[in-house]
Structure 1
Amino acid sequence: MSALEFDERTSRRIEATYLTADVVRQRRVVRETLALRPGERVLDVGSGPGFLAVEMADEVGADGEVCGIDPAAAMLAMAAERAGGAVEFRQAGTDRIPYPDGKFDVVVSTQVFEYLEDVPGALAEVRRVLRPGGRLLLMDTDWDSTVWRSNDDALTSRVLLAFEQHLADPRLPRKLPGVLAAAGFRDVRTSVLPVLNVGYAPDSFSEGLIALVSTFVPGRDGFTAAEVERWADDLRGLGDDYFFSVNRYLFQAVG
C-alpha cells in the first residue's frame, strides 16, 4: 500500500472537493445523524481541511468543545485558518490520540479508517478518549461499490484497482460491524450514504476524484501519465451520458 501524500497541492484539491454539493450534503447527513447538543465535547479524527469540525463547533456552542487531529501539516494549516480559533487542532495520528481518558462525549471520523493499517488499535484509542456511554460515528467507503461509466470498462477497472493502492483496506465497511463489536463498542448501527453524479459537472465529487486518481495512478501497475489522461478525458467527454455512483457507510456505536 502506498498512501496519498497530503502535501499542499493534494490538500487543496481535497479542500475543493469538500466544497462540492455532494460533500456538503454528506456533512449535513453526518451532523443530523450525530444530533449534537450544546455543551458536548467532540473529537474529529482525521479532521482534514476542517469543514466538519467548524460546523460542529457552531452546534455545541460556547459551552462545548470541538477538537481535531490530523497527521498532515497542510491540512491542519487550512483547518486552523478556517476555524479562527473555534476549534483546537493538533497534529497527531490514531496510534496515540493526545487527549486524556474519557475526555469526549462524541468521536467522529469520516473517510479515515480505510487508510489505517491498525484499525483495532485506532478503535482502542478512540474508546480510551471517549467517555463511558459516549457516541462514535465512523464513515468509510467500500470502493467495490463504485459504478463509473466509460467507453473502456477494462481500462477503468485497471485504473481503479491501481488507485486502491492508496488505501490500507478499500473494502473496510463490510468488516466494521464485527471489528467495532470486538473493540468493545455496542449498539452498532449501519446506514448507507450514496454519492450519485449523473451528467458530467466540473464541480462534482467525482470530478475531484478524477483529479486525485490522475495524480496518484501514473507510475503504478505500469500506467503512464498519457494513459491515465486518456481515461480521464474519456469520462469528462461523456457529457450528459456521464454516470458515477459510490456508497459510503455510516456506523454509529456506543462506547
Structure 2
Amino acid sequence: MATPGSDGTAGAPPAGETGDTTTLIGRPADRYLDEAADHLAAVKDEILRRLRVRPGHRVLDVGCGNGTDALELARHVGDAGEVVGVDVSEEAVAGAIGRGLAAGAGVSFQVASVYALPFPDASFDACRSERMVQHLEDPVAGVREMLRVTKPGGRILVADPDHGMWAPDLADRETTRAVLAWWFDNVRNPWIGRRLPGVLRAAGARDVHVTVMPVVLRGVAAADGLTGLMDALRHAGDAGVVPAERARALREEAARRDADGGFVMYGAIALAEGRRPE
C-alpha cells in the first residue's frame, strides 16, 4: 500500500500498481517486510510445514520480497535442492540477491511477473506465495501460472490476510470500523483471505484445503508495523473520513493502553493449499 495522498489525490490512500512494493503501509518495503516477519513467525512456520519441502526439492517463491523466506527454504532443500525467488520489484530483488550472497545459500532471485513466470511447465516440486495475491488484479490468472510451473502432483500454497478481520481493541466501534474499512479498501483485494480456496479451485488446483492462522499483535508498534493502524487513524481524521476529534481520541486511547501494556489487535491469515493435477 502506498503512502496516503502520495498520488496527489487528497484524502485517500491510493491502490498501488500490481506488485509495486516500493512502499508498503506507508513505509519502505524492506522495513515493512522485516517487521512483518517478526510478527508472523508462527504463520511462516506453518506455511513451511504444509509445503512439505524435502532435501533435493526445487521450490519457487513468488513475490519473494527481500528474500528472507527463500533463504529459509534453502536450508530445508539442502545442497541437492534449489530455491528460486521472483518479484516484480527490481529494488526488492537486488536486496534479496545481496542477502543471498551474504548467506552463501543455494538460492537465486530474478525479476518476474506472476502472470508470466520465466520457467518451463512442471519446473518446481512446490510453489509458495505469501501476502502477494491480495495485490493482483487477476488472482486466478496468477495462481494458474504458479500451477503451470509446478510439477504434476506438486504442492502450491498461497497465504494472504483477510483485511476484513482486523480487530484492534478500541472502544469507539463505529469510528474504528469506518477507519479500517476505508484504509483496507485501498488494497486491491482486501477480502482475499476468504476467497483463496475458490481462487485455487478456479485456477485448476486439486485437493484444496484452507487453514486460518490467528495473528496477535501485542502493542501499538506491532499493530502499526503490520497494518499501519496509527497512520490509518491519522489520515482518516485529516481526510474527513471520520471526525478528526474522534480519530484523535482513538489514537490517544491506543497510546494509553499501550503504555499500560494492554493494547492488542487481532487478525487472520488464510493458508490455502492444493496440488497440480497429475
Short-chain TM bin: 0.7 to 0.9
Matched position secondary structure for 2:121 = coil
Question: Given that residues 163 and 217 in structure 1 are in contact (C-alpha distance below 8 angstroms), is that contact kept between their aligned partners in structure 2?
Answer: no
2:271 to 246, 250, 254: 250
2:56 matched residue in structure 1: 39
1:90 to 110, 120, 127: 110
Q: Which residue identity is paired with 2:217?
A: N
2:8 matched residue in structure 1: none
State the TM-score, normalizing by the size of structure 1. Answer: 0.86
Query: Does 1:169 pair with 2:189?
Result: yes
Cα offset, 1:50, TM superposition: 1.3
Cα offset, 1:58, TM superposition: 0.7
Using a 3 Å threshold, how does the CA distance of structure 1 residues 121 and 43 change in structure 2: closer, same or farther? same
Matched position secondary structure for 2:75 = helix
Using a 3 Å threshold, how does the CA distance of structure 1 residues 128 and 241 change in structure 2: closer, same or farther? same
1:18 matched residue in structure 2: 36
Superposed, which structure 2 residues align to 1:212-251 within 5 Å?
214=231, 218=235, 222=240, 231-239=250-258, 240-251=261-272
Query: Does 1:57 pair with 2:77?
Result: no
Question: Given that residues 114 and 140 in structure 1 are in contact (C-alpha distance below 8 angstroms), is that contact kept between their aligned partners in structure 2?
Answer: yes
Question: Given that residues 217 and 223 in structure 1 are in contact (C-alpha distance below 8 angstroms), is that contact kept between their aligned partners in structure 2?
Answer: no
Alpha-carbon RMSD across the aligned residues, in angstroms, is 2.7
Matched position secondary structure for 1:2 = coil
Distance 2:30 2:135 in 1: 19
Deviations along 1:50-74, one digit per CA (max 9) or x if unpaired, are: 1111000010011111011111223
2:16 matched residue in structure 1: 3
Cα offset, 1:185, TM superposition: 0.8
Question: Given that residues 112 and 140 in structure 1 are in contact (C-alpha distance below 8 angstroms), is that contact kept between their aligned partners in structure 2?
Answer: yes
Cα offset, 1:252, TM superposition: 1.1
Distance 1:172 1:252 in 2: 14
2:129 matched residue in structure 1: 109
Structure 2 gaps of 5+ residues are: 1-13
Structure 1 gaps of 5+ residues are: none
Distance 1:47 1:145 in 2: 25
Among the aligned pairs, what percent are the same residue? 31
Question: Given that residues 44 and 108 in structure 1 are in contact (C-alpha distance below 8 angstroms), is that contact kept between their aligned partners in structure 2?
Answer: yes
Superposed, which structure 2 residues align to 1:155-234 within 5 Å?
155-198=175-218, 200=219, 202=221, 204=222, 206-211=223-228, 214=231, 218=235, 222=240, 231-234=250-253
Q: Which residue identity is paired with 1:234?
A: E
Cα offset, 1:152, TM superposition: 3.0
Distance 1:92 1:216 in 2: 35
Cα offset, 1:123, TM superposition: 1.7
Cα offset, 1:201, TM superposition: 5.9
State the TM-score, normalizing by the size of structure 2. Answer: 0.80
